[in-house]
Amino acid sequence: MQDNRIAPPARIQQNILALGERRLLNWLCAHMPAWVKPDLLTGLGMIGAVLIFAGYATSLLNEDWLWLCMPGYLLHWFGDSMDGSLARFRHIERPRYGYFLDHSCDGLATFLILLGIGVSPYVRLEVSLIALVGYLLMCIHAFLAVRVLGEMRLSYLSAGPTELRLVLISLTFAMLIFGDKQRDMDAITSFDWFVGSVGVILIGLFVVQTIKSARRLARIEPPK
């Protein structure tokens, strides 16, 4: 009989909050009711992403709708961080299924979040799409690294998904306090500069990491 099991890639996570977050996730896993399954948590994470999108999009009507993003970010963090953690804690991993579903949902969730930011009255859509391109390029690098290096890198520059969510939450609070939903859309605001800069940093990081990985692979597989 063919063995369809595959070895999971080495997980590399060196973000600032990694240690404290891991302790919290382990505690939550140990106290999670038996009826809570990883797929349910994945679904909760996606509901959180939809809430975030709705909060940004409806801020066109009233800036107070931005408050909807806050529980959205919390729910998204909880579902996205706990689904794989719970599967590993209970030793019920499905490596290929989990990998495929988790990262597919991550891509869709990030698209919803950045689309929401782009259709809000605070950030230009084309600027938000630059950040989306940067994120997708980093995803491409991470997925290629799994295939050619056997590594799943979950953080870069000492930051990972949790730190990025905290940045976006801070951005949302800044929109509530300093934002002008009647802004002149022909003008470039500080929110545009911030989101655009994040996108440019991600694109630059993709270039740097691609060069580093290519050099590493060249040493592993020297020319014949």
Considering the domain boundaries, does residue 44 fall inside one?
yes
Angstrom distance (rounded) from CA 202 to CA 134: 5
**Any idea what the CATH number is for the domain that residue 45 is in?**
1.20.120.1760
**pLDDT tens profile 130-149:** 999 999 999 899 889 888 88
Considering the domain boundaries, does residue 3 fall inside one?
no
Considering the domain boundaries, does residue 30 fall inside one?
yes
**pLDDT tens profile 184-221:** 666 788 899 999 999 999 999 999 999 999 999 999 88
Per-residue tokens: 207: 């270039």
pLDDT over 60 (residue 1): no
Indicate the pTM of the whole model. 0.88
18-134-108-58 Cα dihedral, nearest 10 degrees: 100
Angstrom distance (rounded) from CA 18 to CA 220: 30
Q: Domain total for the chain?
A: 1
Residues 6+ apart with CB under 8 A from 184: none
* For range 14-20, the mean pLDDT: 80
* Residues spanned by the domain of 118: 10-220
